[in-house]
A and B are shown apart, each in its own frame.
Chain A
């Protein structure tokens, strides 16, 4: 039984309702500005009462976001946004809880909280600003930095494999994973709206450019010249077709996905896979999340959106049932139950 109990706004809110008087202190040209804009654009569309939105963050550039959105906000400590947000949502399921976090915050120091949040399927929305670098500490590699990268703490190149957040989400039995790039505000807004609608933990990875310490890290998938052949925007129920000339597609070949060209080697549109974001089985969704250029396009859009029970609903259900069934209605009942004796 899934119940969305968040109170809706009686009036149509606008972007202005979500702007704070605080000066936004991200670097000029930082990808975070576009994410902030998209949030202000999409929150009125979600339709909840403005007091019922709540933004929780950890530490890092991404985590300054709560100061810039006029909702209830909590700027936490490094890595712990997911744990704090869990407490907020379980405590009050009538809130629309959002997490602003980064690749250092959620994939390194907060990795444990991240996977457990996802595993429990607590109904919160997590926006992962993935710039593949530690920005606020000035340029050390993070768990999503590609292997071999030269950074301040890897002058000889990193020697560790990078995390793919989508793989973690699905490995942790997650129900919602979407990905987009910071230069496509329409897609960000569409995805955030889908995330808000989803009951359960929604993880939205936004590939964000750090103009100072990791500029152009995502250039292959964001540059006008290269992106069309290197990304595929997935839409539920539609065929996985992409490319500058819209003639490339993804099909299942044996146990793997492969890129094919429509019109070559007898391939027709019918051979191309149809995206099923709602499939309970994460098999193909996992392969989609794993695709990387240059051999495969990077998958953007809502990759997985499966229905499952949420932790916060189950908590409420157990409490309701216990209240109905138990004879212990207050502390006095409890204190006087069991082995009690009386001195007269």
Chain B
């Protein structure tokens, strides 16, 4: 490469793609962590097949990891790639739509065998046939070079070849003018007991870097300066890990023991995995025999006085429906985390969707309202998990936290806070020997009942799934009492609207078009609206994190716009919910149900189209 020009970029999107055994998730994570440590703002988005080791060289078996790094705040993983790392022909085929004129492709020429080309469905080699002429291709005989670089270490062939992802990482570090230090540190920690592997990874990373220094395909290199972040300590965090930490925070701020009853399910498993690590913080994790036992054990733990959690994804939520009704009826605090994925049934297990909203709202027998909130970025999963726990404990009700595969697996920078800066959570505990204690007696204002854990002196009582008398708390089949209890439980949840923040608007407070989103769609819409504000378009934007109940200023806010468009990754479930709750407004829907989030371009085009119609 010799001495080439360094170009400064505002941001860059890199997509890592390879066979599911090529280590692309790890490579992407290491690159992102390095970018974070360097000081870039980042958003990452892993995109992998449902199989652990899908068939080699197939398009369906391509595992991807996308990272967007910027010197300003970034809100999305990015529509198109500045750099595509393609470890085989199938990786190019699977990602061709994300390339734009001038994109760079880094590829392993050794992987372009006749067989691999055929399996990927290429009639001729795209590296040769000019079909990729719009892009800059960095051709590296990676397998050959890696084997050579690690030859002296004395690893077997297979292990040597396994370091090829680190070779690619070396090329990228050179391309973006980064150093190898932080990744060396990682190797030293990770492989402290496998010295040969440690040396091989270091050698491969260095060889890749050195290859890039000399590579004639590289005409310029790039630099993304550190973002001007607020002072403080930061780390890169996925939504699932942030969720786990938010729950731990809630346990500390409430003084309650944290209990998780859960069953492994993609893409929610990482919350269970993360909480399992933290026994030193007193977290009790019960990996149950099934989804139902997951939630039922949590209900038991809640009855016993713990801050109880169950985590799952859509199919698991279906199995938990009956038990959620039990928690509604027994008025016990419980947090249900649903990391949504594309359904119905098994659907697209590793792909993201927002299609469990109706199930969250109505998927139970009887009148069984619960509080529903939704996180909208990987890092704010921390705060909404905390908030879910706070509302559950203070209002004695199940709360569902909706996240999704995109948020759960995706990551962004998290500004580290002091736990003590979070609000204190006050459980509504009955006092020992409280005179005339009845489990279903409630606060006149909030309608919240008191929590009396077994073991507390003088408060022995029985609760359960049967309807109870409003005053005596004994089992009751009285029809008038039943209606009163149904209305009371509903009112208790509705009253939470008094305790949650008002809905806020980004952009114009009064305008032609209000763009509405909820949950994970926020970042994509926000990025587009920022552009439209610069373009002086008459738009406002509001994202909902509180779904049930809705913030109390929602109707007032909606009334300030000529048109309302609701964007979501489903067939229009939130739009339908708004039609039910606020029928005085009409709603345009914009939906995408493809297992991937909206792109900024799609949103931008749609909003312009609606604005045009208004003229």
A contacts, CB < 8 Å to B: 7, 20, 22, 50-52, 54, 56-57, 59, 66-67, 70-77, 80, 82-92, 94-95, 112-113, 116, 315, 318-319, 321-323, 325-326, 328-332, 334-336, 338-344
Contacts and interface: CB of A to CB of B under 8 A. Distances in A.
Contact of A74 (B286, B330, B455): B330
Contacts of B121: none
A89 B231 CA distance: 45
B458 A51 contact: yes
Contacts of A325: 280
Interface range on chain B (Cβ under 8 Å from partner): 35 or more
B230 interface: yes
B464 A75 contact: yes
Contact of B296 (A87, A91, A318, A330): A87
A116 B293 CA distance: 10
Contacts of A335: 235, 245, 416-417, 419
A66 B462 CA distance: 7
B454 A75 contact: no
Interface string B452-468: 01111111111111100
B394 to A, nearest CB: 20
A83 B293 contact: yes
B33 interface: yes
B474 interface: yes
Contacts of B304: 54, 87-88, 91-92, 95
B300 interface: yes
Given A51-B458, A72-B454, A339-B236, A86 B326 contact: no
6 contacts: A51-B454, A76-B299, A91-B300, A112-B289, A331-B281, A334-B278
B297 interface: yes
Given A91-B305, A92-B454, A339-B37, A334 B464 contact: no
A70 B226 CA distance: 65
Contacts of A87: 259, 261, 286, 296-304, 308
Contacts of A95: 304, 454-455
Given A77-B323, A77-B326, 9 more contacts: A87-B302, A88-B301, A95-B304, A113-B289, A116-B289, A315-B284, A322-B280, A328-B280, A331-B252
Nearest to B382: A335
Contacts of B474: 22
Contacts of B280: 319, 322-323, 325-326, 328-329
Nearest to A113: B293
Contact of B299 (A84, A92, A342): A84
Interface in B440-483: 453-466, 474-475
A86 B464 contact: no
Interface in B299-350: 299-306, 308, 322-323, 325-326, 330
B564 interface: no
Contacts of B459: 51
Contacts of A54: 304, 454
A340 B235 contact: yes
Contacts of B236: 339
Nearest to B296: A83
